[in-house]
Structure 1
Amino acid sequence: MFKNQLNHFRSWSCREKKGERHHIMMKLLCGITLLLAIAVAYYIYIPLPRTISEPWKLMVLDATFRGVVMMGDVAHSLGVRHRVHVINSAIINFESLVPITNQEIHIEDLLFDGVHVRVYQPPRQEGKLRRAVMFIHGGGWALGAPKLGSYDSLCRQMAADLDAVVVTVDYRMAPDVHFPVQYNECVQAAKHFLRSEVLAKYSVNPERVAVCGDSAGGNLAAAVAQRIGTDNTTTVKFKLQVLVYPVLQALDFNTASYQQNQDVPILYRRLMARFWLEYLGADLDLVHSLMINNHTAQDQSLPSSTQSKLDWTTLLPKRVRKNYKPVFPVTGSPKILKDIPALLDARAAPLLAEDEVLRMVPPAYIMTGEHDVLRDDGMMYARRLELAGVSVINEHYEDGFHGCVSFAFWPCYFSVGITAVQNYIAWLDEHL
C-alpha cells in the first residue's frame, strides 16, 4: 500500500511540475509575443497630421518602404548591390501584384528615336482623330516600373476614359545614367511623337496633345514643355501640361512645405535630397549640406533674379506660408554649386526658367498635396506661370501626400489617390 501511495505521489508531483513548466512556457511565449507586438507597433507608428488621408494605412505603407530602403542601404554598404537597384527590385515585385485593367486597350512597346516607350491605344474608330497624352513617370529619376502595376493601370485608364493614345516614356534611370540623360531621352521621345507623320500614324489630332508627369516625372514633363515651347524646329506643340506634385528646384530644402512635412511619408526631406544628388551624379555625402541650405547660404551671392524665382515668401499666400521663416545659413559651402552646376540649370530645375520661356509653355494643371515636401515647388511654379500670363489650375488636396496618385489602384489604394486621378482625368477630358 505504501508503495502505491508513493508512486501516486510521484506521479502527481511529475504532473504538477509539467503543469508548472507548461504555465511558465506559456507566460514566456505571451511575453515574447507582447514585446514583438510592441516593437512592431513602435516601428510602424509615426505621428501624422490629423488631416492626412487614411493615416494608419499610410503608416503601414511607409513602414514597408522604410524597410526596403534599409535593406538597400545594407546591401549597398556590404558591396552586394546598389541600394537603388535593391529598392527598384522590391517595387517591381510589388507592382506585379496589381491586376491588369482595361484589357481592351492595345499596347505596343517601341523605340521613339532610340528611346523605349509604350503606346496605349483604345479601339480605333475609322475616320476619327483622337487626343493624345505623353506620360512621364516619377520615382526620383531612379525608381519606378512604368510598364507594370499602378503606372500601367493609370495609362490604361487615361486611354480608356479619354479615348486617347497614351505614350509612356521608359527613360533610363539613375544610378545607371544621370542628368541630362533622363531629360534628353524625354525630349527625344516627345519630338519624335509630335512629328506630323507619327501623329497621323496613330490618328492623333496634332492640336490635342498633352504632356503629363508625376513627381520627378512632373519635373521632366515641365522641362519638356519648356523645351518644346521654345523649339522653333517643332511645329506641333503641346496643348496642355499636367504636373502632379512636381519636384522643380533643389536650391531651397527649407521652403514652408519642406519644414512642415520633412518627416511626413512617403517622401522625407532627406530622401528627396538623396534623389537629387543621385540624379545629378553628385556625392551622396552632401545630403546634410543640401538639407540645411549650405549650397545657397547668404555668402553664396546667388543672382537676385535666381533668388526671386523661388522666393516663397512672396510667391506663396500667407495661409500656405503659415509662420515658417526662410532658412539660409550665414556661411555655406561654395564648392557645392561649383561641383554641381546642374543645380542652377533650368533643364533640371524648371522653376528657374526665365519669364520669356514660361510665356511659351501650354496651360497647366498642377496638383499639390498639403502634406508633401514638394507642395511649395508646385505652388510657386503655378504662381510664376500666372505672372507670365499662362492659364493655370492648381488643384490642392488638404488630405494629400506625396505619391498618392500611385495608390489609386488595388491592392494599395487611398481615397485621395482615387479622387485625384478622377479629377485630373476629368480636367483633361474637358480641356484637351
Structure 2
Amino acid sequence: MTAFISPSQPLGSVEKSKLCLDTGVPAPCRQRAAPLHLWKGKPVGFACGSGRCRLLCPRRTTQMLLSAQGGQRDAGLAAGEGSQKEALQLLVAFAGLAHDPSRPGPGVPAARGGPGAAGEPRRSRRFVVGAEGRVASIADTRVCSGLERGPISAVPGRYRIREGKMELGSDCHLIHYLRLSHHLIVLNYLICTFDKLKSVSSEDINITDAIFDGVEVRVFEPPAKRDERLKRSVVYIHGGGWALASARTSLYNNLCRIMAESLNAVVVSVEYRLVPEVCFPEQFHDAFRATKHFLQPDVLAEYSVDPSRIAISGDSAGGNLAAAVCQQLSKDEHLTIRPKLQALIYPVLQAFDFNTPSYQQNMNMPVLPRYVMINYWIDYFNGNYDLAHSLLINNHTALDVGQAVSFRGRLNWTSLLPSSFKKNYKPVIQTTGKAEIIQEIPALLDVRAVPLLAENETLQLQPKTYILTCENDVLRDDGVMYAKRLENAGVEVTLDHFDDCFHGCMIFTIWPTDFSAGIQTRNSYIKWLDENL
C-alpha cells in the first residue's frame, strides 16, 4: 500500500511505515502529491518500497534509503545515477543540519504571495499523528512561526501535543514526521557511516571494545614492555556537542591510538549515548559511570594500570563531561582512587553568558558559530528552540532573575580574563529578563552541565589541570576563565593558548583534513601528558 499526501485529502488511518511523499511518480499521483522540501529548485519526496522509505529527487539521480524497520534509526545509502557527493549534499540539505532556527528550514517552500507580505503569516501544513503512530488527519493552517515544542523527547523538532495528538509544522523536518530520525542522528550517521572503524588491532596497539557498568568503551592497550609492571592511563571523552561523533570514528580512533603509542598508556575512550536518544544528564551519567568503573582496583589490575597515574580528558563537549566528572569524583568520599590529572581541550563549560569577548569576536566563525553552540545547548537540555534568541542576549541571567544571582560572581569575565582577551568588548547584562527560562531549563545552572559555575570548595579539590584554548573559537573564554578560577582556588594549571587555531582542530590530523593546527595542538597536548602523568 502506498499513500500520497494531498493537502485536500485526509488519509484517515494510514500506517507511518507505508506513508510517503513522492513528487517523482507518474500521474495522476503527481498532481496529488504535496512536496514539503525543495532541492535546487526541484521538489523532493519519499517513496516506499519493501518496507523502506526511499528519498528521491524527481529525476532519480540520487537515492537514499532511510530504514524504518524494527524501530531502528538506521540508514543506508545507495548511489543511483548521481554521485555519492551529490547524494550526501541532498541528504544534508534535506536533514537541515545545523540550521539557524530563526530562519526557515532548508527547502521549505515560501508562503503563497511571497515572503514579506505585510501581516501575512507563513503557511504551514499541519500533520496530526495519533497516539498509536497513525496519521489521523491533515489540515492546512496559517501560523506565524514554528509550532511550540512539546514534552515528547522521542520525536524532537517543532511540534506540540493537542488532545492527545502530536502536531507538526511543515518547517519540522520530514524525517521527524516519519519518526525515522532527528536531524542530528542523520548528521551523525553521515559522520559515522563514512568514518567508523571496526575494532581492529594493529601490531603495536591492541584495540578492544568493552562494557563498563553498562557503558560502551573502546580500550587501546600498548604491548607490554620488559621489566614494566604497570602503565599509566587516560580516560578520554570525545566531543561533538553531546550529539555527534563516536569513539569509533577514525578521527578519535587515530587520536587515542597515537596517545596510547606516544605515552605507552592504556587509553579508555568512552562511547556515551548521544542527543537525541538521551539528553542531560544521561551523557554525564554515562561518562561518570564508565570512569568510576575503570577506577576500581580490580579493573585497573586487569588492564595493568598504575592507580596513581590516571588522567581524565576530553575535547569540546567531551571536555565539558571530563570537567564535570572530575568534579563529581572529587566529592565522592568513598572513592579510593582518583585521577592524577585532567586535560581539557577547548572545553564548553558554561551557558550563563553567550556574550563573552570570544562569543562576540567569533560569533560567525566557521565550525562553531555562536548560534550553533546555543542550539547544541538547547538540544542537550531538550529545550525549546524558541528560547534561542533570549539565550543569545542573556535574558536567562538578567539582573532580576533571582536563580542566577548567586552564580554571577563566579563568571565575571571582566575580572577573570586578561586584557588581551577582553579587548574593547563590553558585558551584555540585561536589567530585566525571563526567569521562566531557568524554570523551564534548570540545568542551565546545574554544575554537572556547566562546570565553570562550581563553587570554590569543589574547585579546590581538582587535580593538576591542562586547558587548551584557541583564539578562533567562541569557547576560548570558557577555558580561560576556568583556568583562572582553578588557579585562584590553588590548583596548578597550565593554560595552553593557540593564537592561530580554531575549535575542533586537534582531531583533524589525517587526510584529507590533516591541518598543521591539528598536529601542533595534538603534539603540545601529548607532550604535557607525557611530562606530567
Matched, 1:107 2:207: yes
Percent identity over the alignment is 51
Tell me which of 226, 237, 245 is aligned to 1:144: 245
Tell whether the 8 Å contact from 1:385 to 1:392 is kept in structure 2 after alignment. yes
Partner of 2:471: helix, strand, or coil?
A: strand
Letter in 2 for 1:248: L
Contact 2:394–2:430 under 8 Å retained in 1? yes
1:207 offset after TM fit, Å?
0.3
* 4+ aligned runs moved over 4 Å, structure 1: 65-70, 100-103
2:416 equivalent in structure 1: 315
Residues 402 and 435 in structure 2, CA contact (< 8 A), matched pair in contact too: no
Name the CA distance, whole Å, in 2 between partners of 1:206 and 1:97: 30
Secondary structure, aligned partner of 2:359: helix
**Structure 2 residue runs without a partner (length 5+):** 1-87, 97-105, 108-171
| C-alpha contact 2:342 2:465 (8 A) present in aligned 1 | yes
Q: What is the letter of the counterpart of residue 219 of structure 2?
A: V
Match of 1:325 in 2: 426
Compared with structure 1, are the counterparts of its residues 69 and 291 closer, same or farther at alpha carbon in structure 2 (3 Å cutoff)? Answer: farther
Say whether residues 1:392 and 2:493 are aligned partners.
yes
For 1:302 and 1:283, the matched residues in 2 are separated by 20
User: Aligned residue for 2:509?
Assistant: 408
CA root-mean-square deviation: 2.2
Indicate whether 1:263 and 2:286 are aligned.
Answer: no
- Alpha-carbon offset, residue 280 of structure 1: 0.9
| Secondary structure in structure 2 of the residue aligned to 1:250 | coil
2:191 is aligned with 1:91: yes
Q: Which residue of 1 aligns with 2:173?
A: 77
- 1:197 is aligned to 2:293: no
- Whether 1:153 aligns to 2:260 is no
Structure showing the higher strand proportion among its residues: 2
Residue identity matched to 1:299: D
Q: CA deviation at 1:315?
A: 0.3
Alignment of 1:271-420 (within 5 A): 271-420=372-521
Residue 33 of structure 1 aligns with which residue?
none
Structure 1 partner of 2:169: none
Give, in whole Å, the separation in 2 of the partners of 1:375 and 1:403.
12
1:365 partner amino acid: Y
> Contact conserved, 1:102 with 1:156, CA < 8 A, in 2?
no
Q: Distance in 2 between matches of 1:314 and 1:237?
A: 31
1:118 alignment partner, SS class: strand
Rounded Cα–Cα distance in structure 2 between residues aligned with 1:208 and 1:250: 32
Greater alpha carbon shift after TM alignment, 254-263 vs 143-152: 143-152
| Structure 2 SS opposite 1:411 | coil
1:68 CA drift (Å): 7.1
Q: Quick check: 1:119–1:168 contact (8 Å CA) kept in 2?
A: yes
The question of 1:220 aligning with 2:321 is answered yes
Cα deviation, residue 71, structure 1: 3.5
User: For the residues of structure 2 that align with 1:259 and 1:153, how far apart are their CA atoms?
Assistant: 33
- What is the distance in 2 between the residues matched to 1:261 and 1:102? 40
Deviates more, 1:290-299 or 1:309-318: 290-299
More helix by share: 1
Cα offset, 1:335, TM superposition: 0.8
Is 1:431 the counterpart of 2:524? The answer is no
Q: What's the secondary structure of 1:91's corresponding residue?
A: helix
**What is the CA–CA distance in structure 2 between the aligned matches of 1:104 and 1:223, rounded to whole Å?**
33
Contact 1:97–1:411 under 8 Å retained in 2: no
The within-5 A match list for 1:51-62 is none
Contact 2:196 2:248 (C-alpha < 8 Å) held by counterparts: no
Distance 1:133 1:369 in 2: 23
CA distance in 2, matches of 1:135, 1:300: 36
Pairing partner for 1:123 from 214, 223, 226: 223
Q: Distance in 2 between matches of 1:352 and 1:70?
A: 37
Q: Indicate if the aligned counterparts of 1:409 and 1:418 stay in contact, CA closer than 8 A.
A: no
Q: Which residue of 2 aligns with 1:422?
A: 523
Q: Match for 1:82: what amino acid? A: H
**C-alpha distance in 1, partners of 2:89/2:267?**
32
Q: Deviations over 1:242-270 (max 9, x none)?
A: 00000001011100000000000100110
Number of equivalenced pairs: 369
SS of the equivalent of 2:301 reads helix
Alpha-carbon distance in 1 for matches of 2:408, 2:504: 28
Cα distance between partner residues in 2 of 1:249 and 1:67? 34
Asked whether the 8 Å contact 1:115–1:189 carries over to 2, the reply is: yes
Judge conservation of contact 1:134–1:190 (CA < 8 Å) in 2. Answer: yes
Residue matched to 1:10: none
2:324 and 2:256 map into 1 onto residues whose CA distance is 21
Shift of 1:97: 9.0
1:13 is aligned to none
SS of aligned partner of 1:413: coil
The answer to whether the Cα contact below 8 Å between 1:88 and 1:144 also exists between their aligned partners in 2 is yes
Aligned-partner Cα distance in 2 for 1:66–1:290: 31
How many angstroms apart in 1 are the aligned matches of 2:402 and 2:439? 13
1:209 equivalent in alignment to 2:310:
yes
1:77 is matched by which residue type in structure 2? H
Distance in 1 between the 2:476 and 2:309 partners?
A: 28
Q: Is the 8 A contact 1:298 1:331 kept in 2?
A: yes
TM-score, normalised relative to structure 2? 0.66
Give how far 1:286 is off.
1.3
- String of CA shifts for 1:336-371, please: whole Å, max 9, x gaps: 001101111100100011111011111110000001
Residue 311 of structure 1 deviates from its aligned partner by 0.6
Compared with structure 1, are the counterparts of its residues 343 and 200 closer, same or farther at alpha carbon in structure 2 (3 Å cutoff)? Answer: same
User: 1:91, 1:144 within 8 Å by CA — same for their partners in 2?
Assistant: yes
Q: Which residue of 1 aligns with 2:157?
A: none
Q: Quick check: 1:102–1:157 contact (8 Å CA) kept in 2? A: no
Structure (1 or 2) with the larger CA radius of gyration = 1
Structure 1 position 94, deviation (Å): 4.1
Separation in structure 2 between the aligned mates of residue 69 and residue 321 of structure 1, nearest angstrom: 37
Distance 1:396 1:144 in 2: 25
TM-score, normalising length from structure 1? 0.82
Aligned counterpart for 1:241 among listed residues 334, 342, 353: 342
Structure-2 change in CA distance of 1:68 and 1:207 (3 Å)? farther
Q: Secondary structure of the residue that 1:242 maps to in structure 2?
A: strand
Separation in structure 2 between the aligned mates of residue 395 and residue 67 of structure 1, nearest angstrom = 40
Aligned to 2:134: none
